[in-house]
Structure 1
């Protein structure tokens, strides 16, 4: 597998759970002496949330959006045995092996649309990205945006690619206009969607998409008692993104129409 674009670290110290997340992520320190927000394979939606986080974050980075560095994070078998909280101990036990970490932005604050500003070009980029990857979780209730050193940063793409939780009708989902974009926290500021659409559809292509898919570790692709192979799963993700890109006019128009109802 080609994992050259992501470093791999080993988790050395569990610092504290971040209980605002339903999947119980945690702040931890790795063997490179950096701190990371860890997303665990043993939580909630398991490896599917990690795949969404990986693909969403790396697509965003490729498109020039500010995303904390993603790393593969190894969790040793003995890690967490001394943890006193049984829920956390179980989470760590079922998360042995390869997990995902996001570089911790120390001192960052949550983006608040009522207080913080966002450049219209950047807002348009984020709205287009989230429509493309079907990210349902960038709303006023939960922005998944941080202000760090006076700049806006994107975090938490684990709710993207929601089709993979049922694995049914993924081709139909790939061609949807994504009506939930109407709830996007940055939609009112996304005035340059046409410009961004032209830029991003020029940057993305099947070769680039294939490179994203190659990042998914084999270890995260053993599902449903082997009923579908890792390569078959990779092919579905590839085709989903390829079809979605070919039909990008659909979600562009949906976002533009949704904006008109707000202004």
Structure 2
């Protein structure tokens, strides 16, 4: 289970994030990026953060440590921003914390080189979790101490927002044409060989157990949080069996051409990765 930390001081909001996450300090003397249950995207974004973040960490990818964070809304009373105060008031109780990486920089594909192996590992992982939010528009990658770190997985597993269609939606191929690492010749085949055997029912069950019951309770069509956890396990396990053959790189999407800038489009290989 995730470590539980109590927030002791709200430091500042992060305006870059659509859900208005904030930097907070914890009673363990750590500093975290807190994501709130009261944010507009809802608790499912926090579920996605845990499932995808913990899966990435178990596969050996660099994802900041995640913790459960208890929040007493009183710590935000001195915050002058009314929007932040309302967010804190609506998020009392259990929230999600991500280890703060001080001095980290946003990833710039023109300034930082990524090996084909590492690029392939990230692309394969994003394909598995159906992450649509690691594009050149919004990389959600940080560079810290010269290494690449993966953040912000709340928009992944979009199929869990509509469970009746989840099986069909989760089986869709993954178009990596606009992936921020597409220009680094990602070795997806090597990543598949490394990662696919690791995606087992046992691993996914352990990861799903990290999601708090209160963020899973009340989902229509599921009798209990444990039943819902198994739905996550089944869906990701099925996707892991086939996704290696369903990743395309360099092909424009079927309904509209790639929106990549000219410098990126010029580098994209026009081929499919199998």
Using structure 2 for the length normalisation, give the TM-score: 0.87
Matched, 1:182 2:177: yes
Pick aligned residue for 1:25 from 9, 21, 28: 21
Correspondence list, 1:162-241, <5 A: 162-179=158-175, 181-223=176-218, 229-241=224-236
Instruction: State the SS of the aligned residue for 2:177.
Output: helix
Instruction: State the SS of the aligned residue for 2:79.
Output: coil
Correspondence list, 1:19-168, <5 A: 19-168=15-164
Aligned length: 257
In structure 2, what is the equivalent of residue 10 of structure 1? 6
What is the alpha-carbon distance in structure 2 between the residues aligned to residue 174 and residue 157 of structure 1?
16
Moved more, 227-236 or 135-144: 227-236
Q: Which has the higher helix share?
A: 1
Instruction: State the SS of the aligned residue for 1:122.
Output: helix
Q: Give how far 1:257 is off.
A: 6.2
What is the alpha-carbon distance in structure 1 between the residues aligned to residue 146 and residue 167 of structure 2?
40
Q: Contact 1:81–1:89 (CA<8 Å) still a contact in 2?
A: yes
Task: Provide Cα deviations, 1:186-238, integer angstroms capped at 9, x if missing partner.
Answer: 02214321111011011221111111111111011123589753233212211
Matched, 1:249 2:244: yes
What is the alpha-carbon distance in structure 1 between the residues aligned to residue 165 and residue 103 of structure 2?
42
Q: Give how far 1:65 is off.
A: 0.7
Unaligned 5+ residue runs, structure 1? Answer: none
Q: Give how far 1:256 is off.
A: 7.8
What is the alpha-carbon distance in structure 2 between the residues aligned to residue 226 and residue 89 of structure 1?
34
Q: Contact 1:193–1:256 (CA<8 Å) still a contact in 2?
A: no
What is the alpha-carbon distance in structure 1 between the residues aligned to residue 41 and residue 106 of structure 2?
24
Q: CA 1:53/1:86 → structure 2, altered by over 3 Å: closer, same or farther?
A: same
What is the alpha-carbon distance in structure 2 between the residues aligned to residue 83 and residue 167 of structure 1?
38
CA RMSD of the aligned region, Å?
2.0
Instruction: State the SS of the aligned residue for 2:98.
Output: strand
Q: Contact 1:39–1:101 (CA<8 Å) still a contact in 2?
A: yes
